[in-house]
Structure 1
Amino acid sequence: MAHRLTSHRLRSWTSLALAVVAATSTAAACGGGGGEDEGDGGGAGQPKPAGRAALAGTAYTSDQLEQALLTEAPGYRRNGEPDSGEYGALKAVQNFNQLQRQVTIDKPACGNYGSTRPGGPPVDKTSPAAIISFTKGNGQSVTETLMSMSDDAAGKHVNSRVPDGCETFRTKVGGQWADHRVVQPPPGRIGEGSRTVGITTSSGGSTLKSWYVVLRGRRYVATISLIGPRATRAEAEQLARQADAQARRILP
């Protein structure tokens, strides 16, 4: 039972860590990605805002993005149905915002990076988005998020880097601390440009690894989050290539 508790907390801490280093929407296995604080308004049960996307002048509706998500991930099973709609109304995003309020970070500037997006535009909580997740028997999980975005904004998100001094930081949930170590390889060439971030989270003798890939397409950004004790950069980037190929097939 103690091992399960530690694993759950490590996943919570890793969700926060993903938001700290992210500059676009994310959704880890147990939660969502950072962004502007959506608050409690706009429940996920509201109708999917396909018309709202047209009013906002974005390229794709949430329904189109949902159709462009991965339909399978080799070795994984799908974790429920996809979710789509306004970014701020996605259940995973709302769950993350609730989680974030329970976490203390030892470097506030790093925590603020996940919310205020310095060096890049904020994520509009009304943007059309879609999300799907997969899991396997060893507890490892994959999540893909697609968000409609202008080419200019997508480029800024992909080119964003982890802030200086945030390569290591600590977070606390309840009375227990976890240590995070962040690595960011040079920019990649998945899609029309990509970046990869790796996070190792340690606490109570347990370690969890996360790899996070964000790539841009034409008027959208795709995000892959891979979390598990054996998660690797190679697998995360391969999944990102599959997500890019699927999106290119579906989105006009």
Structure 2
Amino acid sequence: MAHRLLPIVLMSAAAAVSACGGGGESARPVHGTAPAEVAGVGYTSDQLAQALLAELPGYQKAGEPDSGSYGTLKAIQNAARLQRQAVLDKPRCGTGRPGGGTVPADVPAALVTFAKQGQTVTQTMMGMSAADAEKQVDARVPAGCLRFRTKVGSQWSEHRVAEEPRGAIGEGSRTVGVVTTSGDTRTRTWYVVFRGRHYLTTITVFGPKATRTEAENLARRSLTQAARILP
């Protein structure tokens, strides 16, 4: 099974807002390590976990980092389940290539979440070849999917997506912003994906005051951290 990055982010935001949430869910460690090499990628999930951000000023870590194969990460499984539960008014925006390429479930990965009142930051690192990571960076949201609605349970949410031009974080990056309105609640999600040497990183900032500037600054911070740790 493969996972699409952006649709999972959108569905997670929709479900969290519909459930009057907004806080991150604590990750749990997964025993066992993903294969040492996948498609020529040398980083293991343990190595990626060591390269995650250890702290963020103003935030507290929401549980211990999770690592293993991408498809086994608790946050990814929860997000995929929420995606399956959501009803879209434009079904094609939840399938195919709305968010771009897919992430194979067996790639080595590590994830950590930080939280402060009303806002969460999640960093996910995936061992990936340059070619596969480039597909994620180059992917774009189709014009017809820049506005859509989702329903989780009986609650409808409206989403507006803004995608920035290709960026220069790491060896290439993309930034996507989503404003989700559910009843009287408005929440913002900023999503940055960038590629490094043999890995792909996503930074997701979710909350009513989430900004593009913070998301991109955190992406640069995580790039610096990875450069110190990964050989």
TM-score range, shorter chain: 0.7 to 0.9
Work out the CA distance in 1 between the residues paired with 2:121 and 2:99.
Answer: 27
Offset, 1:74:
1.4
Equivalent AA in structure 1 for residue 31 of structure 2: P
Aligned to 1:188: 167
SS class of match (1:101): helix
Give the secondary structure class of the aligned counterpart of 2:48.
Answer: helix
**Over aligned residues, Cα RMSD in angstroms?**
2.4
CA deviation profile, 1:102-142 (whole Å, cap 9, x unmatched): 210111111114xxx479543110100000000012x1110
TM-superposed CA distance for 1:222, in Å, is 0.5
> What letter is aligned with 1:221?
L
Q: Deviations over 1:2-47 (max 9, x none)?
A: xxxxxxxxxxx9641679xxxxxxxx93499xxxxxxxxxxx8763
Contact 1:31 1:93 in 2 (8 A): no
Instruction: Kindly provide the CA deviation profile for residues 178-222 of structure 1, in whole angstroms up to 9, marking residues without a partner as x.
Output: 000000011111111111000000011110011000000001000
Q: What TM-score does the superposition give when structure 2 sets the normalisation length?
A: 0.86
| Cα distance in structure 2, aligned partners of 1:235 and 1:29 | 17
Q: Equivalents in 1 of 2:164, 2:65: separation in Å? A: 30
Match of 2:194 in 1: 215
Give runs of aligned pairs for residues 93-242 of structure 1, distance below 5 A: 93-113=76-96, 117=97, 121-137=101-117, 139-242=118-221
Cα deviation for residue 174 of structure 1 reads 1.1
CA distance in 1, matches of 2:99, 2:149: 23
Change (3 A) 1:142 1:118: closer
Is it true that 1:62 corresponds to 2:45 in the alignment? yes
Segments of structure 2 that go 5 or more residues without pairing to the other structure are: 1-7, 15-22
* One-letter amino acid matched to 1:49: T
> Is the aligned partner of 1:47 residue 2:31?
yes
Quote how far apart the aligned CAs of 1:96 are: 1.4
Among 48, 60, 84, which residue is 1:77 paired with? Answer: 60
The SS at the match of 1:109 is helix
- Secondary structure, in 3 states, of the residue corresponding to 2:31? coil
Q: Secondary structure in 2 aligned to 1:126? A: coil
Per the alignment, residue 4 of structure 2 pairs with none
Cα distance in structure 1, aligned partners of 2:123 and 2:218 = 9
Partner Cα distance (2:169, 2:159) in 1: 26
Distance 1:31 1:196 in 2: 25
The count of residues paired between Structure 1 and Structure 2 equals: 216
Distance 1:29 1:185 in 2: 25
CA distance in 1: counterparts of 2:30 and 2:205, whole angstroms: 28
Partners of 1:98 and 1:81 lie apart in 2 by: 22
Opposite residue 134 of structure 1, the aligned amino acid is F
| Aligned counterparts of 1:18 and 1:205: Cα–Cα separation in 2 | 15
The answer for unaligned runs of 5 or more in structure 1 is 1-12, 20-27, 33-43
- Structure with the bigger percentage of strand: 2
Under a length normalisation based on structure 1, what TM-score does the superposition of the two structures give?
0.79
1:166–1:30 CA distance, 2 compared to 1 (3 A):
farther
The residue aligned with 2:5 is none
